[in-house]
Structure 1
Amino acid sequence: MVLPKLCLTVFAVLRQIEPIIVLEQLGSTLFDTALQMVVRDRCVNATYPDTHLSREDSQQKAMSDYYMTFNLIVKLTPILPAMLLARFSDRGWRKAPIVVPLSGYLLSRLALLLVVIFRLPLEVMFGAAVVFGLSGGFCAYWPGVMTLTSLGSPAADRSKVMMRVELLYGAAGLVGSLVSGHLFQLYSSNVGHGTVLLTVSTLLHLLCLIHSIVLLQVKQGSKNEPKEDCQLLTADSTNTPEEAPVGINKVNLVLLFVAAVLYIIAVGGAIEILGIFVMKEPLSWSATQVGYGNAAGCMIFLTSYLGVMVFRRCVSDVMLILIGMISFASGIFFMSFVTTTYMFYLARSLNLFALIPMPTIRSLLSLQVPASSCGTALTSLQLALKFAGLAYIPAFTKIYQGTLNCFPGFVFMLSSFLTVLGMIPISIFGCRSSQSRQYQRVQGD
């Protein structure tokens, strides 16, 4: 009697979105470490005779140039496919933004495996990035995950549920990052470093794709949820959302978009350089240290989730976002002056709540649009972040290259400043929301 119930419970869990999140993030963290180390090894002999750069600075320039091109492709190509997949999602094909991008994930991981095994040119990965982007990539996949999460959760608990998804994502990334450096070192006499790591990553993505096609169940929104616009979560709305507004407040939507874009520019620009920065003297990290560093970044998912659980009992969602932004701004500012590994981890420890802002902004955004437009709204935000990437990736890369000799940590200081700017529209949004609630109370009296 117990065994059938256990089997039913396991089967019910397997039909949720969570196993896909775990498998995909495990495979992605393994791939990220592998790509980082392969790019470093291929750029070790890069030279720039006209610039009179040292060997290490030449390697840093070659790596940053490669990542700039690779990431621009990854961010540019998914724009149209992601919008199309969002339309399919809002018309009832909720699994499309998940299944199609996972196909691109699988092909891109397989491409790097072939590059390592057959010693193909590293530029082959540019083609893999195009294929990955045309499948919708993360730009379609993550809004698809968040859409299913939003539709399957009550409005009062939506920010908590979204943050729980981020927690699971981070926990899987933590495990994958811890083992990635060790797996990279494994090799046989016939193949080189990274083959075992990439084989495991490819198999995980294959399993993830099969799971999304065969087992994933799409949950519909609760019948008790309002089908029209939902109201914001506030400190005053403990478990029950307030009455839905009559129309969408476009000013509030713009403020949320601006805050998200400024914050993602700050975070994305800093993280873009951080992976290259740790391979430069005086840090000069190995593959194992790179894995541990990535694990430290994934640990922030766990601490951010705990922060949401603690702070949401006494502060509003807007204050949660501001706490997260302050956390990131302080940590990344300290990163500007890091010269040793222990200082790196001290700087990362200040980023304890840095991942709170984005899922909370997504939650606020989803609560201001009808359920029928939720997928489009979240994908539009993701596309806005992609367009921002087209600007901050080359900008931060060139700034880093220009300050390599004098102050390589300048980009982190710039990132801290942009985060402070991002706090302004969120503060305005909070004031407008507070005034709106006071006006509604006066009308009710």
Structure 2
Amino acid sequence: MAAPPVPEQQQQQPLPPPRRRCPQLPATEPLLFLATLSLGLQGPLATQYLWDRLGAERGYSGPNGSSPAGCGNGSARDDPLRQEVEALVSRWNLCINLGGFFVGLFSVTLFGPWSDSAGRRPALILPAMGMAVQAAIYLLVMYRQLHVAYFLLGRVLSGLMGDYNLILASCFAYVADTSDRRARTFRVAILEACLGIAGMLASIGGGQWRKAQGYINPFWLVLATSLAAALYAAFCLQESVKQQKPAKLFTLSHYKAVYRLYVAPERLSSRRRLALYSLAFFLLVTVHFGSRDLFVLYELGSPLCWSADLIGYGSAASYLAYLSSLGGLRLLQLCLQDTWVAEIGLISNISGLVVISLATTTPLMFTGYGILFLSMAATPVIRAKLSKLVSEMEQGALFASVACVEGLCSLVATGVFNSLYPASLHFMRGFPFLFGAIILLIPAAIIGWMEIWDSNRDYSHFSDASLSPTDD
């Protein structure tokens, strides 16, 4: 008997899967590298432009902030006009940073949870475009000699679109979406290594380029890298959220999603661990930011009195810790759990800061930098542990809150360490670094206690399960 005819709809072949765009490129690493390079170039250049611009408006033509402090006769530092310019630049920097932080605080916690439903790519394109808008406004100020208050406008507009913190949060959430639990720590460490490489290139190249060609040409690179990051996210990056669904953007439910991470009553154990790991992360990153802010000032002063070349080498050495920590993390993971790798990284960080706090010679200062070779191994471990405490549909909310914590770290570090440094000059110039080393004992204790507590809990569960009914 002849087989019945196959309906026309069943005769159609299934459509081939859509082609992957730019399959030869890595995932989010190029995007984060470009965004970090843009930010690393923009920050120091904007501060130096403010110095030159405000100084010229007040008739001050003396050396800029790169002149050695405490290595000469001190007359430059006692100049009242110089002090006025320093105060103005400091106030404008504070206003610009605070404006961006508080606006970004609300936008990051809005877009981050929204990306759990709408996808990561929109949450990467939007802040990259915001950074490009900010760079364009800065260029307009330089070309047209507009008032420096427009810097604040550019910063606020970038903050409304999520700013760099949203890129950071979305990249780490993307990695959490696309990696398994065992490989997540190393994938996060690769992202952090991108931060170090981009920061090193920006710190070394930005200053030399400004000396050779002024401010405008480097800022064109800031604009170009921001646009390149947005284009990469739009046309090359694949969506990592598996089950996308339409979601309203302007709703309080996104803020509630971040709030529920830490107060959900049905997850008491996870809530406690989230809070403790977040505290450890806050203290660790605050010390990182605070000590990095003071390295150059410490090296310029007596008795080190470093030249610009040595300062560049020192900056490169500090950023190389990202790469050495990545390699050390990979090797130590072969024989140790992530927690103990983080503890070794904290020991490296504490020891290096103690040596730097006592450094009176160039070899001893570089010895301190060398001891810091594993100092960045703890942060990817903490990020990965935080990621494993929430579900797949909460990664955006989690890393949005982590990004806000990181922004708060920057503000706290600037206030605490920059206030502590002048207050301790009369008895110990390196005291802020020693203070940071002491603070790092707290996250070391938290991480160690959490690992011991989890091990004891797992052992008790194993012991209970091994009991037979006859043992009761």
- Shorter-chain TM-score above 0.5: yes
Matching residue within 215, 233, 239 for 1:194? 215
Aligned to 2:206: 180
TM-score by length of structure 1 reads 0.80
| Higher mean displacement: 319-328 or 145-154 | 319-328
Aligned to 2:393: 372
Aligned to 1:237: none
Aligned to 2:36: 25
Aligned to 2:316: 295
Structure 1 residue 123 displacement after superposition: 4.6
RMSD across aligned positions (CA): 3.2
Q: Deviations over 1:351-372 (max 9, x none)?
A: 1112111211110011111111
Structure 1 residue 259 displacement after superposition: 0.8
Q: Deviations over 1:412-441 (max 9, x none)?
A: 222121112222211221111111221232
Aligned to 1:362: 383
Aligned to 1:394: 415
CA distance in 1, matches of 2:280, 2:372: 18
Aligned to 1:113: 139
Structure 1 residue 31 displacement after superposition: 2.3
- The one-letter code of the counterpart of 2:347 is I
Contact 1:64 1:276 in 2 (8 A): no
- The one-letter code of the counterpart of 1:146 is F
Aligned to 2:66: none
CA distance in 2, matches of 1:285, 1:10: 48
Correspondences of 1:47-58 after superposition (within 5 Å): 55-56=76-77, 58=83
Structure 1 residue 294 displacement after superposition: 3.5
- The one-letter code of the counterpart of 1:132 is S
2:165 is aligned with 1:139: yes
CA distance in 2, matches of 1:20, 1:216: 9
Structure 1 residue 87 displacement after superposition: 1.9
Structure 1 residue 10 displacement after superposition: 8.9
CA distance in 2, matches of 1:194, 1:10: 36
Aligned to 1:240: none
Matching residue within 109, 116, 126 for 1:83? 109
Structure 1 residue 67 displacement after superposition: 4.3
Q: Deviations over 1:1-57 (max 9, x none)?
A: xxxxxxx9992133722221222223233224423543554577499xxxxx95337
Aligned to 1:94: 120
Structure 1 residue 274 displacement after superposition: 3.2
Matching residue within 228, 234, 243 for 1:207? 228
2:34 is aligned with 1:13: no
CA distance in 2, matches of 1:420, 1:21: 30
2:407 is aligned with 1:381: no
When residues 247 and 337 of structure 1 are mapped into structure 2, their CA distance, relative to the original with a 3 A threshold, is closer
2:268 is aligned with 1:250: no
Q: Deviations over 1:153-199 (max 9, x none)?
A: 11111111111222233233333433323322222xxxxx2322222
Contact 2:31 2:233 in 1 (8 A): yes
When residues 42 and 219 of structure 1 are mapped into structure 2, their CA distance, relative to the original with a 3 A threshold, is same
Contact 2:346 2:378 in 1 (8 A): yes
Correspondences of 1:207-356 after superposition (within 5 Å): 207-220=228-241, 249-280=270-301, 291-338=312-359, 342-356=363-377
When residues 10 and 390 of structure 1 are mapped into structure 2, their CA distance, relative to the original with a 3 A threshold, is closer
CA distance in 2, matches of 1:377, 1:442: 34
Secondary structure of the residue aligned to 2:168 is: helix
Contact 2:289 2:409 in 1 (8 A): no
Aligned to 2:463: 442
CA distance in 1, matches of 2:51, 2:444: 36
When residues 279 and 423 of structure 1 are mapped into structure 2, their CA distance, relative to the original with a 3 A threshold, is same
Matching residue within 30, 38, 41 for 2:49? 38
Structure 1 residue 205 displacement after superposition: 1.3
Over the matched positions of the two proteins, sequence identity in percent amounts to 21
Structure 1 residue 207 displacement after superposition: 1.5
Matching residue within 187, 206, 226 for 1:161? 187
CA distance in 2, matches of 1:143, 1:9: 24
When residues 29 and 345 of structure 1 are mapped into structure 2, their CA distance, relative to the original with a 3 A threshold, is farther
Aligned to 1:433: 454
- The one-letter code of the counterpart of 1:395 is V
CA distance in 2, matches of 1:114, 1:56: 32
Aligned to 1:413: 434
Aligned to 1:229: none
Structure 1 residue 118 displacement after superposition: 4.3
| Higher mean displacement: 121-130 or 157-166 | 121-130
Structure 1 residue 84 displacement after superposition: 0.5
When residues 281 and 28 of structure 1 are mapped into structure 2, their CA distance, relative to the original with a 3 A threshold, is farther
When residues 407 and 65 of structure 1 are mapped into structure 2, their CA distance, relative to the original with a 3 A threshold, is farther
Structure 1 residue 302 displacement after superposition: 0.3
When residues 40 and 352 of structure 1 are mapped into structure 2, their CA distance, relative to the original with a 3 A threshold, is farther
When residues 182 and 433 of structure 1 are mapped into structure 2, their CA distance, relative to the original with a 3 A threshold, is same
Unaligned runs of 5+ in 1: 1-7, 48-52, 188-192, 223-244
Q: Deviations over 1:116-163 (max 9, x none)?
A: 444445454333332232222232221100010111011111111111
When residues 355 and 64 of structure 1 are mapped into structure 2, their CA distance, relative to the original with a 3 A threshold, is farther
Q: Deviations over 1:241-287 (max 9, x none)?
A: xxxx9985222222111111111222222223335444556666676
CA distance in 2, matches of 1:406, 1:35: 33
Contact 2:20 2:238 in 1 (8 A): no
- The one-letter code of the counterpart of 2:45 is A
Structure 1 residue 331 displacement after superposition: 1.9
Contact 1:61 1:401 in 2 (8 A): no
When residues 196 and 389 of structure 1 are mapped into structure 2, their CA distance, relative to the original with a 3 A threshold, is closer
Structure 1 residue 321 displacement after superposition: 1.6
Contact 1:60 1:280 in 2 (8 A): no
Unaligned runs of 5+ in 2: 1-18, 63-73, 244-265, 467-472
